[in-house]
Structure 1
């Protein structure tokens, strides 16, 4: 697939970009989610300053990313531990 020229509107501002066609839907969804989060913060805290809203949105996204990274690390540790346990069981069974 080729590249597409699209515009994403975030906080009443258009951002033109060239994207791979396979990424278009994901980019549009990301733009929609950003705008929904901006609206959420505006309504929840009564803030109208776009800089503050964008900063809060970015902060929230980074916090979500850090939580996701930690969950992935935790899962990898659990999986590694289970693999080591299975390996010990198999090694003991083969030694018999």
Structure 2
């Protein structure tokens, strides 16, 4: 496996990790986005406690993930229904 040893700084702490070369950019971008959210919450709410800020970022990320999953489920259901309708139409046209 082609792995890299990198360090990601989040909330003024460094986290060493090994990542696949193909995932490096995604991991670095995730670290950058976390730090941007931390900064935004710090400025918006005047909170300096890093644990509170990290908890808020984690909560925000989970809420976003849940929204994406719900949207994906809705899309999947719509696609399934459309494919079923098309299958039904094709079946009728063959008869």
TM-score strictly above 0.5: yes
RMSD: 0.8
Moved over 6 A (4+): none
Give the C-alpha shift of residue 2 in structure 1. 1.4
Secondary structure at 1:18 match in 2 = strand
Q: Residue 11 of structure 2 aligns with which residue?
A: 11
TM-score for the superposition, normalised by structure 2: 0.97
1:27 aligns with 2:27: yes
Q: Residue 71 of structure 1 aligns with which residue?
A: 71
- CA separation in 1, counterparts of 2:45 and 2:28? 26
Secondary structure at 1:47 match in 2 = coil
Secondary structure at 2:47 match in 1 = coil
TM-score for the superposition, normalised by structure 1: 0.96
- CA separation in 1, counterparts of 2:77 and 2:40? 35
Unaligned stretches of 5+ residues in structure 1: none
